[in-house]
């Protein structure tokens, strides 16, 4: 747990008049001024807009209004979330100059909750990466050790919170892009149940996998932020048409009587210090009254393979819209096809091109059944395996990342090594279940380790109860 003020205390202080939203924001902007050049968490800092929003909150409170559950809390937004009239780039040259005509649903909900947006954060281009080294605007550095990556693709959002630039942030998670950077930056990071949070206004990477979620310093803040953005949205056809469950009671519920699964056939590859932290997590939960149950999920080991066929296939379809005609940058050429090719050739970076080509190949005539079709069958097998396991356990524990934050450049020349960073996070995206990373222990150079808690669909209350128990044992914040 960092020494920065949590969001709940900010809300309390601002709402009661003990401090002002402007003063809170000014503290965060001062930290940005001090370290942003070194960290590069942001593509855009919204200094003037944020100060204006904070002043409006102070004025409303002075007038006796109830502002909302996030009154005056500085929040950073991943730069693939649409913000009306404010550049939204996905950290790609191809969206240069584009200003969305609308806000993402989560952005509107945060504004209505009294949040103050401090900026748009850097990411791996179109959310494709595990280190935030694939941005057209340069890499983001881990505030805990600037020689190392913050994780990805939501590395800017994680770095903004870890550096104290924002009290909370939003990222998106397609294969681990919230949980892995949360683990590497010592934060709580949550991927909610698919459909629990609206994707309207999230620029798509892989539509059946993408989900928006929070980065925070502690579990209670994550619950507060998730409750503020979750819930049905008629504008998103994949939104779950039922109320999102309350999480506040879960934070003090404990795990006594729960059955927590330990996956015996989990893929190897995690560092010894990560495995040791996960083992200690099981011991802590057992001491708190949970029963640890060994379970088998045979399809887990195929998650990485299935994901790197399904996600690129969806990306190749979603990214076809960037053609230089309707929005974003355009490279002039003698004819339309040449213009398409020149625009995409110049606008997309190497990793995005790699995944588009991989996805297009997997969907092509003669290969569809062999690759994409087979990957969908593996996805179904995985869903069945998890469903069977959740008949006998309430939650599962795994590593979030196979390692602590790794040095810049150490995996960029080997895409497969980079892809393996998501070994433990991908299955939850494939089956649509919630999962979260909680700081638990440390490894090399005293860098943080994240333990992942997994639960069945809409099992967030149970997941947060387990996470809060781990946080208490680790000496972190709790209610």
**pLDDT on residue 160:** 98
162 touches 146 (CB < 8 A): no
Strand partners, 168: 75
Q: Which of 462, 401, 343 is nearest to 155 (CA)?
A: 401
Summarize pLDDT for 62-108 with one digit per residue, the tens.
Answer: 999 999 999 999 999 999 999 999 999 999 999 999 999 999 999 99
Alpha-carbon span 301 to 464, nearest angstrom: 25
Return the structure tokens found at 284.
Answer: 């802590």
pLDDT over 90 (residue 475): no
Active-site residues, by number, are 78, 153, 177
The pLDDT value given to residue 476: 67
pLDDT tier at 478, thresholds 50, 70, 90: very low
pLDDT surpasses 90 at 170: yes
How does pLDDT run across 415-450, given as a tens digit for each residue? 888 889 999 999 999 999 999 999 999 999 999 999
Contact at 8 Å (CB) between 192 and 211?
yes
Confidence of residue 185 (pLDDT cuts 50, 70, 90): very high
Q: Kindly indicate whether the domain formed by 7-255 is annotated with CATH number 3.40.50.1100.
A: no
How confident is the prediction for the chain on average, in pLDDT?
96
Describe the crossing of helices 7-16 and 21-39 by its angle, rounded to 10 degrees. 150
Residues in the chain: 479
Give the predicted TM-score (pTM) of the model.
Answer: 0.96
Query: Looking at residue 443, what is its pLDDT?
Result: 95
Q: Which residues, 6 or more positions from 249, have their beta carbon under 8 angstroms from its beta carbon?
A: 461
Place of tokens 């960073």: 421
- 356-365 pLDDT, tens digit per residue, is 999 999 999 8
Q: What pLDDT is attached to residue 2? A: 62
Q: How many CB atoms lie within 10 A of CB 201?
A: 23
Q: How far apart are CA 132 and CA 181, in angstroms?
A: 9
- So what's the pLDDT on residue 465? 98
Tokens, residue 58: 């102070």
Task: Assess contact for 133 and 408: CB atoms under 8 A.
Answer: yes
Asked if residue 479 has pLDDT above 80, the reply is no
Strand order in the sheet with 116-121: 42-45, 116-121, 74-78, 168-172, 212-216, 188-191, 435-442, 448-454, 395-399, 259-263, 291-295
Region 30-55: mean pLDDT is: 98
**Is residue 402 a contact partner of residue 423, using CB atoms and an 8 Å limit?**
yes
């Amino acid at each position: 747990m960092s020494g920065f003020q949590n969001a709940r205390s900010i809300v309390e202080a601002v709402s009661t008049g003990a401090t002002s939203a402007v003063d809170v924001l000014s503290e965060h902007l001062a930290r940005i001024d001090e370290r942003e050049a070194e960290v590069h968490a942001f593509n855009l800092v919204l200094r003037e807009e944020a100060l204006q929003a904070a002043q409006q909150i102070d004025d409303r409170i002075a007038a006796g209004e109830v502002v909302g559950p996030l009154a005056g809390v500085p929040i950073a937004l991943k730069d693939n979330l649409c913000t009306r009239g404010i550049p939204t780039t996905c950290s790609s040259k191809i969206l240069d100059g584009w200003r969305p005509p609308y806000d993402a649903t989560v952005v509107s909900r945060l504004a209505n909750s009294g949040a103050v947006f401090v900026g748009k954060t850097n990411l791996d281009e179109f959310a494709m990466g595990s280190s935030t080294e694939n941005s057209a605007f340069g890499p983001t550095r881990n505030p805990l050790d600037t020689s190392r990556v913050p994780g990805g693709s939501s590395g800017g959002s994680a770095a903004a919170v870890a550096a104290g630039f924002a009290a909370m942030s939003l990222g998106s998670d397609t294969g681990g892009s919230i949980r892995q950077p949360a683990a590497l930056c010592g934060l709580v990071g949550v991927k909610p149940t698919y459909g629990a949070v609206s994707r309207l206004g999230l620029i798509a990477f892989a539509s059946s996998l993408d989900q928006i979620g929070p980065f925070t310093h502690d579990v209670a803040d994550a619950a507060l932020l998730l409750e503020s953005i979750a819930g049905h949205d008629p504008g998103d056809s994949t939104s779950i048409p039922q109320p999102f469950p309350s999480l506040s009671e879960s934070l003090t519920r404990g795990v006594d009587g729960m059955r927590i699964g330990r996956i015996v056939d989990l893929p190897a590859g995690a560092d010894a210090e990560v495995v040791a932290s996960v083992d200690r997590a099981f011991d802590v939960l057992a001491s708190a009254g949970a029963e640890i149950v060994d379970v088998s999920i045979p399809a887990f080991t195929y998650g990485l393979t299935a994901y790197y066929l399904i996600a690129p296939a969806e990306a190749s379809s979603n990214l076809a819209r960037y053609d230089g005609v309707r929005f974003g940058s355009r490279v002039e050429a003698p004819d339309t096809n040449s213009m398409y090719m020149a625009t995409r050739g110049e606008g997309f970076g190497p990793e995005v091109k790699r995944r588009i080509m991989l996805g297009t190949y997997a969907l092509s005539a003669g290969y569809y059944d062999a690759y994409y079709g087979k990957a969908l069958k593996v996805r179904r097998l995985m869903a069945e395996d998890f469903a069977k396991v959740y008949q006998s356990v309430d939650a599962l524990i795994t590593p979030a990342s196979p390692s602590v934050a790794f040095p810049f450049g150490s995996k960029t020349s080997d895409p497969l090594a980079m892809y393996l960073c998501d070994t433990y996070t991908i299955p939850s995206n494939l089956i649509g279940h919630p999962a979260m990373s909680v700081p638990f222990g440390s490894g090399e150079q005293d860098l943080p380790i994240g333990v992942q808690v997994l639960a069945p669909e809409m099992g967030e209350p149970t997941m947060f109860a387990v996470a809060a128990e781990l946080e208490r044992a680790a000496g972190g914040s709790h209610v």
